Amino acid sequence: MKYLHEFRDPTLVAQLLHQIRQQTTRPWTLMEVCGGQTHSILRHGIDTLLPSEIRLIHGPGCPVCVTPVQLIDQALHLAAMPNVTLCTFGDMLRVPGSDADLFTLRANGADVRMVYSPLDALNLARRNPQREVVFFGVGFETTAPATALAVQLAARERRSNFSLLASHVLVPPALEALLQAPGCQVQAFLAAGHVCSVMGTTEYDAIAARNGVPIVVTGFEPVDLLEGIRRAVGQLEAGQARVENAYPRAVTNDGNPHAKAVLAEVFEVTDRPWRGIGLIPASGWQLRPKYHAFDAARKYPLGDISSREHPLCRSGEVLQGKLRPSDCPAFGRLCNPRSPLGATMVSSEGACAAYYHAGRFGQVHPNGESR
């Protein structure tokens, strides 16, 4: 299959690994931003093939994982309303709120639907004008354009029974927040290719220059990731810090102008809390005033919902690259995919789920480091 098999080519992988070994002279810590990259790294064992000097840590690039508990609790509150159909992506059904999850409410009779697109939720609203349909929109810049389009279409149709509970967040402010945090160990980033396919690469230039940190945009296959690592290590060894695009088949400097236009039309930037991390300024989107009629948080009486994390869950440290999932005392014991304590064990992009499914229960890398 084009763009798949050639990016898993063993010969290319071996060549890239050789080049990385040849250029590495010092220890370096790299963070892959996207949870999809984390799963690919662990599934293919890329981290175990790298020189012992190179350490990969995992970032907050899982939108399901960083959705704050309060928003989960608001979604639970909405789903419990008698005339509401709540729609969201599949991963969100199992993410724990303070006391329950959407899957449990669905089992108890709530009308909770898994959808593949916000347009599916809009179609439900069209077919069921007597019901209130709420789309719980979660995601980074990758999924936000489709949500914006759904709101835009609902407004054109004056679809009064459709609304949005928004939890869309932005990657660049999160990278800046990580770099400014005390004790940050990140020396280079592997940026998420699908995010940059929408937004482009230019907004990362200032972050790289201001913090002296290379940022290399990569894809998700082994050759993609190893090429990104090779370029990042090359910059670090040369004392450079700039943005490089190692995923040109999908990413351009300017991104997708049509997607960016609909985002700018429907959303405005706002401060957002990130689960386990806290408030990050200018790191999210909210509906512009002209679309407030479609804002579920304004439309429904959600009240002052008191939310809390599970006391044993350390996903916030995992999301910041401060803790490997297998080093959490609850990992694989009290916390597993069947009974997760936090979102990082639920999501298909969560680091804890990646470690669990890869069988990384405190294994040791040949260099002696626990993986």
pLDDT of the residue at 366: 43
The residue among 159, 160, 218, 162 whose CA lies nearest residue 193 is 218
Q: Residue 118: which residues within 8 A CB-CB, separation 6 or more?
A: 87, 135, 137, 146, 147, 149, 150, 164
pLDDT of the residue at 3: 67
pLDDT of the residue at 370: 44
- Distance, CA of 284 to CA of 173 (rounded, Å): 9
pLDDT of the residue at 1: 56
Q: Write the CATH number of the domain with boundaries 19-306.
A: 3.40.50.11740
Domain regions of the chain by residue span: 19-306, 315-357
Q: What is the pTM of this model?
A: 0.91
Chunked into runs of 10 residues, the chain (371 residues) has average pLDDT values of 79 96 97 93 95 94 89 95 95 91 95 96 97 96 96 97 96 94 93 95 96 96 97 98 96 96 97 89 97 96 81 90 92 91 89 92 51 43
pLDDT of the residue at 368: 38
Q: Could you tell me the CA-to-CA distances from 222 to 11, 46, 160, 218, 263 in Å, in that order?
A: 11, 7, 46, 10, 32
pLDDT of the residue at 369: 46
- Distance, CA of 70 to CA of 111 (rounded, Å): 20
